[in-house]
């Protein structure tokens, strides 16, 4: 349960290199590092981050994937006031463009893949559901 007593879902992303992933999320989204657990190498093993109050976790977890397979991809949807600026910031921080910002189905959305291989959409609802 969350501190409010209501259920809450917080994504947990597996990444190959924890410190690099945390630095990307800070640069791309202005994420705040809330807590971390250090690894034997002095880097970040597990981190809890916040983007505007939305909590998510990252974990350096290369041993959890046999034969060096990459972790499964997850698509995150981050609702923002300005998807164009958010996409530009992510690309400048090292993300790869998947789809430029466009309007469809009442949403203004752009998509990219972060350096850890996770897909993200930055979106703003422009028409009521």
Q: What does the pLDDT read at residue 1?
A: 39
Stretch 51-79: mean pLDDT: 76
What CATH number is given to the structural domain containing 87? 3.10.180.10
**pLDDT above 90: residue 68:** no
Q: What does the pLDDT read at residue 23?
A: 97
| Residue at 68 is within a domain | no
Q: What does the pLDDT read at residue 5?
A: 65
| Residue at 1 is within a domain | no
DSSP H helical segments within the chain, as ranges? 18-29, 83-92
Beta strand 54-60 pairing with 12-15: parallel
Q: What does the pLDDT read at residue 6?
A: 73
Structural domain including 46 reads 12-62+73-125
Contact 51, 78 (CB under 8 A): yes
Write out pLDDT tens, residues 1-27: 345 667 677 898 888 889 999 999 999
pTM score: 0.76
**pLDDT above 90: residue 49:** yes
Per the structure, how many domains does the chain have?
Answer: 1
Q: Among residues 86, 81, 74, which one has the least CA distance to residue 110? A: 86
| Residue at 27 is within a domain | yes
Stretch 34-38: mean pLDDT: 92
């Amino acid at each position: 349960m969350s501190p409010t007593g209501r259920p809450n879902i917080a994504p947990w992303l597996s990444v190959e290199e924890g410190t690099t992933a945390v630095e990307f999320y800070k640069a791309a989204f202005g994420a705040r590092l809330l807590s971390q657990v250090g690894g034997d190498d002095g880097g970040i093993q597990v981190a809890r981050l916040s983007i505007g109050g939305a909590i998510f976790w990252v974990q350096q977890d290369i041993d959890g994937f046999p034969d060096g397979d990459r972790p499964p991809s997850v698509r995150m949807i981050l609702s923002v006031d300005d998807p164009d600026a958010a996409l530009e910031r992510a690309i400048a921080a090292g993300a790869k463009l998947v789809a430029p910002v466009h309007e469809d189905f009442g949403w203004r959305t752009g998509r990219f893949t972060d350096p850890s291989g996770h897909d993200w959409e930055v979106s703003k609802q422009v028409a009521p559901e």
